[in-house]
């Protein structure tokens, strides 16, 4: 995979997004843009968990169906899902029908509510694991420099697991930190401007 790919519009982008219009739009408009809304953060953690073993493009294509099936990922609503909801979700061909991932998302919703009650904000808690100097590090020069996990994602993963979260391993958590703009892993030369993470 090339580090950068130039689109029909003449813009250089991170090579992982290729030329699929949906993936290009995600790269340009979402990936790496800071998100502080706790509901969107919860959604992304859930979708990263569902992505395990699959391509992100598969999840992206299914995201509208996921949002419909999981009440737009409102943690209070998802935490109240019962066995009938699990069976409903297992029958929904629009999403990834994996019982373990579905029940993890429901359980994680309850854990998200507990965390917010304890510390006030999922966003602040996540960012507390990534020092400003790490978040503001220079962009990688190549895709080969982008790690699969970091000490920060490992520490956050351990913290979430200690709190009872599931499907939040260090690699999943690092992908979450990248996507939510806590770290900026757009490759040097990518046209997307560096976004300032609110701290």
What 156-159 contacts at long range (C-beta under 8 Å, 24+ apart), as own/partner pairs, is 156/126, 156/129, 156/130, 159/129
d(C-alpha 108, C-alpha 142), whole Å: 34
In degrees, rounded to 5, the angle at the alpha carbon of residue 100 between the alpha carbons of residues 94 and 106 is: 75
Q: Is 46 labeled as ligand-binding?
A: no
**CA separation, residue 178 to residues 9, 25, 49, 153 (Å):** 25, 16, 15, 10
Q: Is 125 labeled as ligand-binding?
A: no
Q: Is 48 considered catalytic here?
A: yes
Q: Is 26 considered catalytic here?
A: yes
Catalytic residue among 16, 23, 43, 48: 48
Q: Which residue has the tokens 């809304």?
A: 37
Is 103 in contact with 88 (CB distance < 8 Å)? Answer: no
Is 113 in contact with 79 (CB distance < 8 Å)? Answer: yes
Catalytic residue among 30, 56, 114, 191: 56
Q: Is 14 labeled as ligand-binding?
A: yes
Catalytic residue among 26, 30, 114, 191: 26
Please name which of 161, 152, 142, 154 lies closest in space to residue 183, comparing C-alpha atoms.
152
Q: Is 190 labeled as ligand-binding?
A: yes
Q: Which residues are annotated as a binding site for Zn(2+)?
A: 14, 27, 186, 190
Enzyme catalytic residues = 26, 48, 56
Residue ranges for the known binding site are 14, 27, 186, 190
């Amino acid at each position: 995979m090339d580090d950068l790919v130039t689109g029909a519009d003449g813009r250089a982008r991170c090579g992982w997004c290729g030329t699929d219009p949906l993936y290009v739009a995600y790269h340009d408009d979402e990936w790496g843009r800071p998100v502080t809304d706790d509901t969107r953060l919860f959604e992304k953690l859930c979708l990263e968990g569902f992505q395990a073993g699959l391509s992100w493009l598969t999840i992206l294509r299914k995201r509208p169906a996921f949002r419909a099936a999981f009440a737009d990922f409102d943690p209070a609503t998802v935490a109240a899902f019962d066995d009938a909801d699990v069976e409903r979700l297992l029958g929904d061909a629009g999403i990834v029908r994996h019982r373990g991932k579905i029940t993890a998302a429901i359980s994680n919703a309850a854990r998200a509510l507990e965390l917010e009650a304890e510390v006030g904000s999922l966003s602040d808690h996540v960012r507390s694991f990534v020092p400003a100097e790490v978040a503001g590090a220079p962009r990688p020069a190549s895709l080969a420099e982008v790690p699969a996990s970091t000490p920060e994602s490992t520490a956050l993963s351990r913290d979430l697991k200690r709190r009872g979260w599931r499907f939040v391993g260090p690699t999943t958590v690092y992908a979450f930190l990248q996507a939510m703009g806590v770290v900026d892993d757009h490759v040097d030369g990518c046209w997307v401007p560096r976004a300032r993470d609110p701290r």
